[in-house]
Amino acid sequence: MAQQQEVKLMKGNEVIAHAAIRFGCDAYFGYPITPQSEVMETLMELKPWETTGMVVLQAESEISSINMVYGAAATGKRVMTSSSSPGISLMAEGISYIAGAELPCLIVNCQRGGPGLGTIQPSQGDYFQACKGGGHGDYHLIVLAPYSVQEMHDFVELGFELAFKYRNPAMILADGAIGQMMEKVVLAPQQSRMSEEEIASRYGSWATYGKPADRARNVVTSLEMQPEMMERNNLRMGAKYRLIEENEVRYEAIGCDDADYVLVAFGSSARICSATVEMARAEGLRVGLLRPITLYPFPMQPIAELAKRVKGFLSVELNAGQMVEDVRLAVNGVAPVAHYGRQGGMIYTPDEVLTALKQKLIKA
């Protein structure tokens, strides 16, 4: 008989904590910052070290927590951290090292407005940081953009899956709205953590959990002093990113089949834009929504295909215009592309988006 579904009403941030435990996460390291502090608070309340054995540790800074993630990930464990924009900036060095050492891990960014200390209100101003680097050197994060509390839950599993598949850090790029809002969520059944034996058999070629007599020592490092070898490492990582771009693009297309105009939006912005689509269609305007679920890899191809037959794209973002650059790259001059955004924690309503669409594209 099928197990009864466990349905709860929860905040997005709380769900991250529950999902981490349920998907067999080995450790969480973090530092408090608004608007995501509920993640660690919930974990501390749930005390998973008494049930699954998961380690939860409050570090002295985000610099420390990401380096704890680095160390734990190096031993083949499923580890994660969460923070919000200024904290992610502090982690940038560590994230670059994790990418450079090709370690899997999950990072949650519950974005707030910037730059600087900015505001604690929701924003999508970290798109560039998440998708275009953030730290130094040539690397990419796998970036997932949840637009519901359910996706906050589901992407913990997906994030770990992709991180381990490609030995690359994955990020859930949420925002203060998704993190703070309460919604119904179907929780996954409890999965067990991976045993030491399983880690040794799966990741024994690279993980540093102590050298047994029957294998050579493992070294986790991003350092390579020989230029020929370092370039080879860079090219290997580049090939991995091409593979990710080929295989892992995820997006949702709503009403795009007959659309004259397409809104491109992710996360909480996509949530608002889905109402805009309904509103526009009630007025007889054929408007669709393309919602990238993976921001890296970005859905270039689907947007390029749509560009051949639509009259324009409006990239709707809670920022000054970041994803719009990728939309333009995908469209490649074939159709008009405009941006509409608000900043500082201000959020547009569905009809504001529709007005912007009319002003920027339909009447133009």
Partner 1 sequence: MAEVVEIKEENRVYGKSPLITDNVMHYCPGCSHGTVHKLIAEVIDEMGITDRTVGISPVGCAVFAYNYIDIDWIEAAHGRACAVASAVKRLHPAHMVFTYQGDGDLSAIGTAETIHAAARGENIVAIYINNAIYGMTGGQMAPTTLLGMKTATTPYGRDPRLNGYPYKIADMMVHLDGTAYITRQSVHTPANVRKCKRAIRKAFDTAMAGKGFSLVEVVATCNSGWKMSPVAANRWLEENMLPYYPLGDIKCNE
Residues of this chain that interact with partner 1 (CB under 8 A) are 26-27, 29, 55, 57, 59-61, 63-65, 67-72, 74-75, 77, 79, 93-94, 97, 101, 208-213, 217-223
Among residues 203 and 340, whose Cβ is nearest to partner 1? Answer: 203
Question: What is the distance of C-alpha 191 from the center of its chain?
Answer: 22
- Torsion sign, CA atoms 238, 243, 246, 249: negative
Please give the DSSP secondary-structure letter assigned to residue 3. Answer: P
Instruction: From residue 157, give the alpha-carbon distance in Å to each of 18, 47, 231, 238, 275.
Output: 11, 20, 33, 25, 28
For partner 1, the closer of residues 213 and 282 by Cβ is: 213
Give 18 or 77: the residue with its C-beta nearer to partner 1. Answer: 77
Identity of residue 194: M
In whole angstroms, the minimum distance from the beta carbon of 212 to partner 1 comes to: 5
* Distance (Å, whole) CA 167 – CA 173: 19
Q: How far is the CB of 51 from partner 1 (least distance, A)?
A: 16
- Choose between 6 and 196: whose C-beta lies nearer to partner 1: 196
User: Smallest distance, Å, CB 200 to partner 1?
Assistant: 11
Rank residues 60 and 197 by Cβ distance to partner 1 and give the closer one. Answer: 60
Task: Write down the least CB distance from residue 347 to partner 1, Å.
Answer: 36
Query: What are the residues facing 262 on neighbouring strands?
Result: 288, 313
Give the list of residues 6+ apart from residue 11 with CB closer than 8 angstroms, or none: 38, 149, 179, 180, 181, 182
Give the residue from 11, 253, 244, 14 showing the smallest Cα distance to 143. 244
Write out the two tokens for 321.
Answer: 């215009």
Q: How far is the CB of 188 from partner 1 (least distance, A)?
A: 23
Nearer to partner 1, 55 or 275 (CB): 55
Mapped onto helix, strand or coil, the DSSP state of residue 164 is helix
Q: List beta partners, residue 10.
A: 183
Number of residues assigned to the chain? 364
Cβ of residue 321: shortest distance to partner 1, in angstroms?
33
Residue with Cβ nearer partner 1 (103 or 270): 103
